[in-house]
Amino acid sequence: MADAIVSESFSQNDRRYPQKKKGGNMKVPWISKERIALKATELIKNFQALAGYTVKPPIPVEDIIERALGLRLLYEDLEKVFGSNDVLGATYVESGVICINERLFEHSSEGRLVFTCAHEVGHWVLHM
């Protein structure tokens, strides 16, 4: 299943979400595992300073999205939004929104839900 970074473009009918656009041609530079680990560690340290406690697993990914990154976290039926059943998450850059497919709740997929949130955070932290 693929996650999508989506370019920003608001519909006149619904200003909450950008129009359906997949970011299939987006050029993303290669990043080493060491650099990714460093950015993840920095994010956790920044969140710990903000939250005032030491973070231990399970990592509070939703709190990190909203509190540390200042993004909105929304849950939507992305199968309807994109007309495809293979999109689990989308990052809307200009509006600062991470949107997760609400259908992940239906399948008791808490691990997949948290992983998808973290995956979208990775897009934001590493590529924005």
Residue 92 maps to a domain: yes
The boundaries of the domain holding residue 60 are 2-9+34-127
Residue 28 maps to a domain: no
Q: For 6-10, 18-22, 92-96, 124-128, which range has the lowest pLDDT when averaged over its residues?
A: 6-10
What percent of the chain has pLDDT above 90?
A: 67
pLDDT for position 26: 61
Q: What 3-state class would DSSP assign to 26? A: coil
Residue 87 maps to a domain: yes
> If pLDDT is split at 50, 70 and 90, which confidence band does 30 have?
confident
Assess whether pLDDT exceeds 90 at residue 28.
Answer: no
Q: Which of 51, 65, 45, 84 is nearest to 122 (CA)?
A: 65
Instruction: Please state, rounded to an integer, the average pLDDT across all residues of the chain.
Output: 83
Count of domains in the chain?
Answer: 1
Element (H, E) at 21: none
pLDDT for position 108: 73
pLDDT for position 25: 54
* 54-93 CB burial, b ≥16 within 10 A, e <16: eeeeebbbeebbeebbebebeebebeebbeeeebbbbbbb
Which residues are paired to 97 by β-bridges?
72, 92
Residue 25 maps to a domain: no
Residue 85's CATH number:
1.10.10
Residue 26 maps to a domain: no
Residue 22 maps to a domain: no
Residue 17 maps to a domain: no
pLDDT for position 5: 53
Q: For 46-69, write each residue's pLDDT tens digit.
A: 999 999 999 999 999 999 999 999
Residue 23 maps to a domain: no
pLDDT for position 75: 96
